[in-house]
Amino acid sequence: MIRLIVILAACVALLTVEPALAQDGSQNGGMNMPGMSMPGMKMPAAKKPAAKKPAAKKLPAERPARKPSARPAAANPEPRPAKPAATMEGMNHSAMPGMTMAPSQSGAMPSMPGMTMPDQHGAADAHAGMATTGTALPAGDAAAPPPPMDHYADRQFPPAEMARARARMMREQGGRTLSQVMFNLAEYRAQKGGDSYHWDGEAWVGGDVDRLWLKSEGEGTFGDRLESGEAQALYSRAIDPFFNLQAGVRHDFGRGPKRTYATVGVEGLAPYMFEVEGALFLSTKGDLLGRLEGYYDQRITQRLILQPRVELNLSAQDVPESRIGAGLVDTELGLRLRYEVRRQLAPYVGISYEAKTGRTADFARADGEGPSRTSFVAGVRFWF
């Protein structure tokens, strides 16, 4: 009987001590670290389990005490990053064995040896000394930032060697001296009154910006002497990615009088891929002539190409010795179909129509010639 009473008393004592231990753990926020004290938080002194019997009745009233400490933080109007600082500010971190946390100058976040934890303003301060570039720049119409002028490879290799390599790269990517010889037209013409021949070619040497051009064109009748011909020597300067300004001299030869002209003109690629050319010629006799020319390569296949072509010649005055009248001197329209055996070699066939107008037509009739003629042509276009 005495043993039964002792066992019941022990059970009652255990049931009384267990709620007191639970209450002690809740008041410490669930943290129980040896050697660690937290100022600002009341920690009950250790008492004998027998003295904590009334605590079991106060447990429902003590548990809500945890919530008021969290509610002010949730309702705090300060930004969220400030909560860890407010929570850890009142802690005595020196009481943690092996860990020292000293508050920063702003008092927002403590620091640990070997670890840097900036406060909410530290990220902005860390980037304060960095230059904003690229897409990080704000929108606006400010001038573009200057390009970097240093070369990183010079830090690893001899600067003189790298300078020579860059100069060679620039030559290979557009600074080289190039050349080309091209005959756009080299053809036989079958026409009424006698078959004839015609050529139109050019050659150039230079770079992407500055070039020296040689141009020549003319025609004649088989079995007869050359009817007309001309040669031009021009300096060409690129004025934009598609057009060149040209200036130089032109010399006429053939059946008519010999003339030398000062020449200025423009040549290039117009929108929609039209090759165009315009020039003015001022002779040593004061005669002013003009020429407009253009053609377009319409690809039917990768090798078969149809080329319409037009040429207009003009004069500011009558030049009777050259059989030229003022105004529109003549017009030439052509349509040629060529097949590129290679890019450099393309035979073609086509048709050409020439018509003299105004005073020039009158000069032709006076010489016993017709003012217009139609020719079937066959020739080859080549370049190298």
Do you know the residue count of the chain?
Answer: 384
Q: What is the pLDDT of residues 199-227, one digit of tens each?
A: 999 999 998 899 999 999 999 999 888 98
Measured in Å, how far apart are the chain's first and last C-alpha atoms?
A: 127
For residue 261, is pLDDT > 90?
Answer: yes
Predicted TM-score of the model (pTM): 0.59
Q: What is the pLDDT of residues 52-74, one digit of tens each?
A: 554 445 444 455 445 544 454 44
> Going from the N-terminus, what domains does the chain have, and what CATH number goes with each?
180-383 (2.40.160.40)
Report the alpha-carbon angle 137-138-139, nearest 5: 120
**How high is the pLDDT of residue 74?**
46
What is the C-alpha to C-alpha distance for residues 84 and 73, in angstroms, rounded to an integer?
10
Question: What CA dihedral angle connects 15, 17, 18 and 20, to 10 degrees?
Answer: 130
- With b for 16 or more beta-carbon neighbours within 10 A and e for fewer, the 298-317 pattern comes to eeeeeeebebebebbbbbee
Instruction: Compute φ and ψ for 326, nearest 5 degrees.
Output: -70, 150
Mean pLDDT of the chain: 79
What is the C-alpha to C-alpha distance for residues 319 and 326, in angstroms, rounded to an integer?
8
What is the C-alpha to C-alpha distance for residues 301 and 281, in angstroms, rounded to an integer?
39
User: Any residues with CB less than 8 A from the CB of 373 and at least 6 apart, and which?
Assistant: 191, 192, 193, 353, 354
Q: What is the pLDDT of residues 85-127, one digit of tens each?
A: 444 444 554 445 445 454 444 444 544 554 545 444 544 444 5
Query: 218 and 229 in contact (C-beta within 8 Å)?
Result: yes
Average pLDDT, stretch 288-297? 96
What is the C-alpha to C-alpha distance for residues 160 and 267, in angstroms, rounded to an integer?
40
Residue 98 CA to chain centroid, in angstroms? 57
> Binning pLDDT at 50, 70 and 90, where does residue 306 land?
very high
Q: What residue type is 65 in one-letter code? A: A
Over pLDDT 90: what percentage of the chain?
50
